Structure 1
Amino acid sequence: MVFKKAIHKGGGSMLRLGVIGTGWITKQFVEAAQENGSWELTSVFSRSIEKAEQFGREFSENVKGYRDLHQFFSEGNFEVVYIASPNSLHFEQSRQAILAGKHVIVEKPACSSPAEMKVLQRLLRRYNNVYYFEAARHFHELNFLKIKETVKQMDTIQGATLTYMKYSSKYDDFLAGNEPNVFSLNFSGGALQDLGVYLVYDAVSWFGLPDSVSYTATKLRNGIDGKGLALLNYSGYTVTLNVGKIANSYLTSEIYGLRETIIMDNAADLADVQLVDGATKRILTQKTAANPMAAEVSDFTSILQDPLSLDNKQKMEDWLAVSVQVNRVLYDLRSSANIVFRADKEFR
């Protein structure tokens, strides 16, 4: 299936966008897409048609709302879908999108398990004209890539400690006796899936696939992980991941060389990164865009505006390979802590 796109006045092709979900993260993505100048929001899916239509009106009077997913994919005037639903729904919605011939940008984590990921990989081989991206925003930022380049240049790696612990606005609701999606086993939630995915992307991208992993989780009343400590074991060193959604941490993150150390203000935001060797400090970071999704939107745009390029197809395949590895590490970590999602049971 080949999609016809309107030609943008600037010379590139306009990309018609459909979105699933109407939360703050979807709004941030659409804003980044509009700032890019090559996207047009046309369709919104929500379980509430009122929410879908209200969300659409924030951007254009021409956006159509849907509450039926089949109708959204069959009638919606878009070629790219951005999926920002609860984690457990990512797989099935991505599967339907691929079957409908839509390019997919799915929020992290892309899937609940390697079993789900394998199904999507098989589908993508059949529908090889469809592009599929996991929206791990920091993976596309220049500062992330600069750290990866610097790590490769270090003669010795002796480990790393990466921290991302942020008190969730949904935790008060959980403490009140409710079960928001982000703290639910039924919706593939928890600290590791929500914030730990950033740290796993860091580790896999900068150091490669670990030899073995383990996760010591602080479990809440329903068995979900509120926070935890993960160990990723490599040949000769260990990478420690400190992650949580029920407390705040203000610790920096570090990568240890021999005498030099890479110091990050935050292992997910990467706004301030320095290479320190004794009294010598070198700034590694560049100023980032105000919208943290700008870098990934720019990357997705350049590929989707030229979908027949073999180089672009290879780039997507390379990114997908990292997504598959991250998915595997996340699964192995929570399996080591005996955290079982409903989605796991459905694939047994």
Structure 2
Amino acid sequence: MSVKHLARNTPTDFFSPTCSKKFKNRNNNNNPSPFHTTSIVSYAMMPKESVNNQLDLYRSDKKTIAAESLDTLIADLESLLLDSSKAKPKNISPESDFKRKFLEDRIKHRKKIDEIIHESTTTYKDGFQQKLKKLLEKPKVPAVIPLTEEENLIVDKLFKGGQSGIIAEMRTARVTFKDIYKLYPETWLNDEIINFYFELLADRSGKTDNIPAIHCFNTFFYSTLRDSGYQKVRRWTKRVDVFAKDLLFVPINQSYHWILGVMDMKRKVVSVYDSLGGTHNHILDTFLSYLQEEHIDKKKTELDITEWRKEMPTNIPQQGNMSDCGAFTCTFAERLSRQMPFDFSQKDMTTIRRRIALNIAKKAIF
């Protein structure tokens, strides 16, 4: 085929219609498209290597490639292949074969660009979703907040051995250095530590709005009631209306094991919280009996206990040794006094013990 024949038979839409139109609109006399119809003769006369170089130059135009539709390119190729299949082999023009190869190569490039765009978009979307999720998530605050460096220094001074004297006093409760040493890890708490801490709980309740009104009996209340009867403890509440409270706390030492007794006056429930999971029906019966006698003595009427329930919760934190029962008892009461969940465990006991020591020294729970 002559060069003139090649030029005369080269269609003006050598590329896809969309692509050809874009090239016509953006090219000018000073910078013609490498495949513009008017210059096809020049490219037909070029050596194969020169034509390939021009193709490589054209493929580097990413803006044009990205603007093309993959569907349009494939449609052009299918149309070309359909026309070629109708013609006899000897009648298939060189320019059609050249265009077919060119379109196949363009389709490969378009697919590659689509893959890159999809991958980058997906990666960006996933990264954005992860960042958004982190922003929306509430920061996790430790259930048992660690002491600050300053607070730890105070506790370290309290725990320093060889000291004597009174550390703090509140009403009838008093804690000395001898007592504070009971807050060392894996050491049994004594009555003085328990009683002082429950005084702090009652003091906070009286000064804080929107938390239950509580009354705390001392560690001798239950044993006195159990062994000597109601008359021995009748005057213990002469200045307190227990029926006007929300919660009554009773720390109990039973066979060298601390547990927490609770009388919930609003829910009409008596319960025992035991970090070793024991059974305490007798204690619950004693509580109900006490409330009946207290009501007769202070209100001059009988208390109907038919609606009252007895509970011994088992789905509560359990101690992992034989010495942290006192710390568990204090923490049960502290959480209940604020209507907060039992979000602590055995692993928190060292921090909790140090926090109790700090509370005693500061005479406040914060």
Question: TM over 0.5, yes or no?
Answer: no
Structure with bigger gyration radius = 2
The interval holding the TM-score normalised by the smaller chain is under 0.3
Higher relative contact order (CA 8 A, sep 6+): 1
